[in-house]
Chains A and B, each alone.
Chain A
Amino acid sequence: VYSSMAPFSKTTLDINKLYVSSSYPNKIPDEGEAASEKQEESLPGKQGSEVSVREESDTDPNHSDEAEAETSPTKSPTTPKSVKCKNSSDFSLFSYNNGMVMTSCRDLDSTRSALSATSAFAIATAGANEGTPTKEKYRRMSLASAGFPTDQRNGDKEFVIRRAATNRVLNVLRHWVSKHSQDFESNEELKFRVIGFLEEVIHDPELLTQERKAAANIIRTLTQEDPGDNQITLEEVVQMAEGVKAEPFENHSALEIAEQLTLLDHLVFKKIPYEEFFGQGWMKLEKNERTPYIMKNTKHFNDVSNLIASEIIRNEEINARVSAIEKWVAVADICRCLHNYNAVLEITSSLNRSAIFRLKKTWLKVSKQTKALIDKLQKLVSSEGRFKNLREALKNCDPPCVPYLGMYLTDLAFIEEGTPNYTEDGLVNFSKMRMISHIIREIRQFQQTSYKIEHQPKVTQYLLDQSFVMDEETLYEASLRIEPKLPS
């Protein structure tokens, strides 16, 4: 019996896996299902009889090597030569993380029953769609696969199980490919392996038409160029700004600034890989190593906020300060229309800083309309009621959008600190994991749609120019100089 379809003889649901983000994209299985599937496919006499769902995968490696070598002339070029079923416990192609369940074969958890691949998928997908897998569910699933003696030739049952298995495998892949495309963009090898596997699947003569169609669709999704790929990258924008003498604030319209700030904010935001959201890495000492992109995001936020405050303070003349404030508020309002709530906060929080806030004479000259607009914008992004207004706006807005990352980081901190990882029964707290995945999914939804804003280097050069930007203390000193403290 050679049909060892299960490359992962054991599964374990390990919460720690959720935090060990690096474990899977790099660990490409030596030989994925492509090999074993193909092997199965090419075996004579197995049609309608072999039970494709099997727990044992400890087939003699030599034997299967032979079988593979002899019988797979159609071998995909992307599939490596050797097949070692013994190593099946090392296969981790499906250390698939949808934010809730990691099925991994690498770490064996003795307390969990050994489950076949199908059962693992079944559980993974069931967990995603139907709620917490219960003990009963585990039991049923392992029974479903274990209930078949290897030599039993029951065509009907075999057919049903095979359809179910194929369905589940394709569903998991479809979900993975469509919802987590980042994984494939960052890992070419993974991408080619999955394509290779699907090509093998498509050539299976037993496959139903709709299954073949589904597999082809997944390949199409994987191979099609991401439309966002044509977009300029953050690196390119930054590079174009380097060593260039930026034109002053007055030379750019509020609309240009709002659009280019939005482009920039989104480029910074969308780069954050989802692994950085696990385990509050941004609050740890090793934050720069663990969450470099979250750190870049906050740095960008603070840089822009400093730039805005500096742009106001650098004007010795009061009317110039007033018009700088009014223009930035106009920028903020355009950003609101562009769904760039991050920039609304960058701007309103700048106006709230002591150095700006205390400029009594300046504020007296700011127009009523501008003040009313500030109030409106501040209400929108206020942390009051746990950002209830901002949440409402986000709920009703169609991407593209730049949300305020800090809100999500606070949510994650609340969930992580207020909820245990394990239930009282020592089971993984799926409820917590689901809440975390809920937040990450929302973030990703906003990351995935890019703005169609044409890059204007002269404006981004200004926005990235730090040459005139003052730090907190310098800002405050300058503020005291332009409007000295009155004796109270």
Chain B
Amino acid sequence: RQTRDRFRLIVLGDSTVGKSCLLHRFTEGRFPGPLHSDPTVGVDFFSRLVEIEPGKRVKLQLWDTAGQERFRSITRSYYRNSVGGLLVFDITNRRSFEHVKDWLEEAKMHVQPFQIVFMLVGHKCDLVSQREVTREEAEKLSSDCGMKYIETSAKDATNVEESFTILTRDIYELVKNGEISIQDGWEGVKSGFVPNVVHSSEEAVKPRRQCIC
């Protein structure tokens, strides 16, 4: 009972929307300060515990593909091994909003055969005067795509905590109800409660990875 559920999340969006700032804000103090560490040893993801209900904590692994975005075939494999993601745009940058659908399409294509739960995040909401995307438009898009919407600001920490917590809670419910199943060879969800992995019956004839295409 000591082990916890672990979810792997990704953060997607155009390169200037502030994904890294959002991650830094959320994991503040947990990122091994590069000032004090050897750059060659570190972590590949940020990691943080989130309490989704009293006494129930989930460990989040947050993947950051920072710097590698251009290596498309690499970043694509990150999608498949994530159970959820924040789809971030910048409310002061209309283009980044228009690209949300592209990101979603791309992610959906590449997570197959697994599923991924997304949440739409309108970032930099502290810059109200420069807003180029209204809350209504964003809410419409998110409900059309079956996502929740939240507006955040890493600068003043608005809703940063909430965005991750809400997404985590939703994923937790889906896992609990069996709508998301934990599978061998998939890094999206690792459970600390279910005795490790749910194996399918025809284990012997499976390809090297479980594939439900």
Contact = CB atoms under 8 A, between A and B. Distances in A.
B176 interface: no
B16 to A, nearest CB: 7
Interface in A437-453: 438-439
Contact of A360 (B73, B77, B207): B207
Given A285-B16, A360-B207, A386-B43, A406 B71 contact: yes
Given A353-B76, A358-B112, A419-B34, A406 B39 contact: no
Contacts of A375: 208
Given A280-B67, A360-B211, A417 B20 contact: yes
A418 B74 contact: no
Contacts of A410: 64-68
Contact of B34 (A350, A405, A435): A435
A483 B212 CA distance: 13
Contact of B112 (A285, A354, A387): A354
A405 B71 CA distance: 9
Contacts of B71: 298, 301-302, 349, 405-406
A431 B76 contact: no
Interface residues of A, number: 61
A295 interface: yes
B42 A406 contact: no
B40 interface: yes
Interface residues of B, number: 40
Contact of A371 (B15, B67, B208): B208
A482 to B, nearest CB: 12
B35 A358 contact: no
A217 interface: no
A329 to B, nearest CB: 12
A406 B43 CA distance: 15
Contacts of A435: 34, 39
The B interface is mostly helix, strand or loop, or mixed, namely loop
Contacts of B31: 418
A225 interface: no
B53 interface: no
B112 A384 contact: no
A468 interface: no
Nearest to A298: B70
Contacts of A374: 208
B73 A353 contact: yes
A469 to B, nearest CB: 13
Contacts of B208: 363, 366, 371, 374-375
A476 to B, nearest CB: 6
Centre residue among A346, A349, A384, A439 by max chain B CB count within 10 A: A349
Centre residue among B109, B112, B213 by max chain A CB count within 10 A: B213
Contact of A350 (B39, B43, B73): B73
B204 to A, nearest CB: 11
Given A383-B78, A385-B44, A386-B42, 9 more contacts: A299-B70, A301-B71, A302-B72, A345-B74, A354-B80, A364-B207, A410-B66, A414-B39, A432-B34
25 contacts: A302-B70, A349-B73, A349-B74, A352-B80, A353-B76, A353-B77, A353-B110, A358-B112, A358-B113, A358-B211, A360-B211, A371-B208, A385-B44, A405-B71, A406-B67, A406-B68, A409-B68, A410-B64, A410-B65, A411-B39, A418-B33, A419-B34, A429-B35, A435-B34, A438-B40
Interface of B: 15-16, 20, 24, 31, 33-35, 39-44, 64-74, 76-78, 80, 109-110, 112-113, 205, 207-209, 211-213
